Each structure stands twice: as structure tokens, then as C-alpha cells.
Amino acid sequence: MRIGDIEVLAITDGAGSERAAEILTRPGVDDPWACHPHEREPDGSLTLPLGGFLVRSAGRTVLVDAGVGPYDDGRYRGGALLDSLAAHGITPGDVTDVVFTHLHFDHVGWASVDGRPVFPRATYRAHRADWEHFVTGPATTPGAVAKLTPVEGRLEPFDADFTLAPGIDALHLPGHTPGTTVYVLSSGGRRALLLGDVVHSVVQFGERDWQVVWDIDPAAASAVRNRIADEAAGTDDLLVAAHLPGMRFGRILTDGGERRFAAV
């Protein structure tokens, strides 16, 4: 995929599986998925692709999120990200920047392995609010510490919106986590948004009041999702998130005031 002069590639790592009705809910409705049976598996599960996005701009090679890593707990299975990069001719040493949309385990898995940074030349970047929450603060977990502490010496935390490289802008949009960041690609009159976990399913683009069990601030997260979808509706802006089917980009279309996601 090209956004003007910027190249962006989906980099797969594996897949996870959750019970759809347990992670995405609608207040007061027992089974909101009954209206969207085609968006979950016949057994009621939701398949969540895992991985990240590789962005090339002005000599920078940027990995946005790092999958779940060499990991298998029966529900989440990763391990393919380095092979996926290699299929595009990219080695870990080619990556100049690793940036995180947030610091949940399925987005930081290749930050380090066996106590060593996987991308030896890269500068790692995460929002300070997420670092303080997940690595040094109240939500500290052994997994987060094990993956992220080895890259601390290469870390440049940020606490404000910034431009990473020409046409790559970081926007702090908290809700899912305190430091959730969306990366906006813009070049040649085109735009694409890398959403992280602002969405977990295409259903959320149409359903304004669905909630995600992992959102730390559900009201703020919902407001962010609706704002992004409303602003993109009827434009040529492309949206993508790692957990969407096929990690495919799409546009927000409207019909009679209703929004829907259309993959491209």
C-alpha cells in the first residue's frame, strides 16, 4: 500500500481467539452479535490477527507495533513477524524506529527476546503514560517488564503529539490505555490512520455504543472511535488496525446516516 510517497506494509505475526460476546458488548443487550453473525466465527469466537505495520518514509524504516512475539498460550500464537519482515527483504537491523500504539502484550512481543532488543539499531518510542502505567506503575506485569525493560536504554518516551518523520504523525488519543497513540500517514494528498486497538472489529465502526472489556476508560475510548469514524466518513481516508480481518485497510462509508467499514 502506498500513501503518496509513503510505503506501508502489514506485517503478520500470528493470531488470537476470543469469545466475541465476552470482549465486545453493548450495554443492556444480551447478544449484540446476533445482528452481526458474519463478523464472528460460527462457534461465536472472534479471530484477532496479530502483528504490526512497516512504514517507509524519507529513509526511515518504522515498525508500528511488534506483535505478540514467539508466544503460544493456546489462544494467542505468534512467532512469524521476523519471517514476515524477511519476506519483504527487511532484516531487524534495517528497522530505524519501533513505535508502539500502546503497551499491551500482543503489541510488544518482539520488542526484545531473551533479554535483548530484537531491533539493534532502532530507537524505541512509547507514550510516557503507557510506560508509567504498564512498566513502572499500577498495571505492571512480569510479561511487560520482561519485554520492555531490555529496550529502556534505547527508549525515547514522548508525552505530546509529534512528527516522527515526514508524513508520519503521532496523535495521543487515550481511552483504550492511558497512552494510546494513533499514527497518521499523509503524503500526496492522501491519508491513512494506523489505529492500534482503537478498534478490535469492523463492527465498531458502525455500532456507536459497543464497549471493549480492555478499554481502561470506556467512555473516552468510545468517543475516540466515534470521532475518528465520523471524521473519516465519506472521505478517502484509509483506516486499519492489526486486529481487523486480514489487517486490511478500508474506508468508512455512510448510508442513511449509518456507518460501515469497506475494505479496499
Q: How far is CA 12 from CA 58, 200, 207, in A?
A: 24, 16, 27
Lowest-pLDDT range of 28-37, 79-88, 90-99, 228-237: 28-37
What pLDDT, on the 0 to 100 scale, is given for residue 135? 93
The pLDDT tens digits of the residues spanning 19-29 come to 999 999 988 88
Distance CA 93, CA 90 (A): 8
Which residue in this structure is represented by grid cell 508524513?
167
pLDDT higher at 256 or 106: 106
pLDDT higher than threshold 80 for residue 143: no
Which residue in this structure is represented by grid cell 519485554?
147
- Cβ–Cβ under 8 Å, residues 100 and 106: no
- Cβ–Cβ under 8 Å, residues 193 and 239: yes
What pLDDT, on the 0 to 100 scale, is given for residue 140? 75
Average pLDDT taken over every residue of the chain: 95
What pLDDT, on the 0 to 100 scale, is given for residue 81? 98
Distance CA 163, CA 151 (A): 22
Give the residue among 131, 132, 254, 228 at the shortest CA–CA distance from 171.
228
pLDDT higher than threshold 80 for residue 142: no
What pLDDT, on the 0 to 100 scale, is given for residue 252? 97
The domains located in the chain, with CATH, are 2-263 (3.60.15.10)
DSSP string, 22-68: HHEEBTTBS-GGGG-GGGS-TTSEEEEEEEEEEEEETTEEEEE---S
pTM of the entire predicted model: 0.95
pLDDT higher than threshold 90 for residue 114: yes
Lowest-pLDDT range of 98-112, 135-149, 249-263: 135-149
What pLDDT, on the 0 to 100 scale, is given for residue 137? 85
Distance CA 48, CA 197 (A): 11
What pLDDT, on the 0 to 100 scale, is given for residue 145? 86
Arithmetic mean of pLDDT, 111-132: 97
Q: In the structure grid, which three cell numbers stand for residue 37, read together?
A: 453473525
pLDDT higher than threshold 90 for residue 52: yes
User: 48 - beta bridge partners?
Assistant: 16
What pLDDT, on the 0 to 100 scale, is given for residue 255? 87
Give the angle 221-41-76 at the CA atoms, nearest 5°. 65
Which residue in this structure is represented by grid cell 472472534?
46
Size of the chain, expressed as the number of residues it contains: 264
